[in-house]
A and B are shown apart, each in its own frame.
Chain A
Amino acid sequence: MSNKILIKCDEATTICDKTQYGEASLFDRFRLALHNFLCKRCHLYSEQNKILTKIFKAHTHTHIENHLCDEDKNELKKALEKELKK
Chain B
Amino acid sequence: MTDEPKHTLNPNKWIDLHSDYMFNYTISRVSNHDLAKDLVQETFLSSLKAMANYKGLASERTWLISILKRKIIDYYRKSNSIKGQAEVRMSFYEDGENKGKWIEERAPSTWDDAEAQIENEELKSALDLCIDNLPEKYKSVFILKTIDNYETEEICNELDISSSNLWVIIHRARIQLRECLEGNWFNK
Contacts and interface: CB of A to CB of B under 8 A. Distances in A.
Interface of A: 7-11, 13-14, 17-18, 20-21, 23, 41-42, 44-45, 48-49, 51-52, 54-56, 58-60, 62-68, 72-73, 75-77, 79-80, 83-84
B56 interface: no
B174 to A, nearest CB: 6
A68 B102 contact: no
| SS class, residues of chain A in contact with chain B | helix
B178 A65 contact: no
B24 A56 contact: no
| SS class, residues of chain B in contact with chain A | helix
Interface string B94-108: 000001111000011
A67 B108 contact: no
By size class, the interface of chain B is 35 or more
A72 B37 contact: yes
Contacts of A56: 127, 146-147
Interface of B: 11, 14-16, 19-21, 23-25, 27-28, 37, 40-41, 44-45, 48, 91-92, 99-102, 107-108, 110-111, 114-115, 118-119, 123-124, 127, 145-147, 152, 167-168, 170-171, 174-175, 177-178, 181
B109 to A, nearest CB: 8
B15 A9 contact: no
A63 B25 CA distance: 9
Contacts of B111: 48, 51
Contacts of B171: 13-14, 17
Contacts of A84: 11, 48
A9 B100 contact: yes
Given A7-B100, A21-B152, 6 more contacts: A17-B174, A23-B152, A52-B178, A60-B146, A79-B44, A83-B48
B15 A76 contact: yes
Given A18-B167, A21-B145, A51-B114, A83 B45 contact: yes
The 5 closest A-B pairs by CB, nearest first: A8-B100, A10-B92, A59-B124, A60-B147, A66-B24
Given A9-B102, A45-B108, A52-B177, A80 B23 contact: no
Contact of A79 (B41, B115, B118, B147): B41
Contacts of B92: 8-10
A68 B19 contact: yes
Contact of B108 (A44, A63, A76): A44
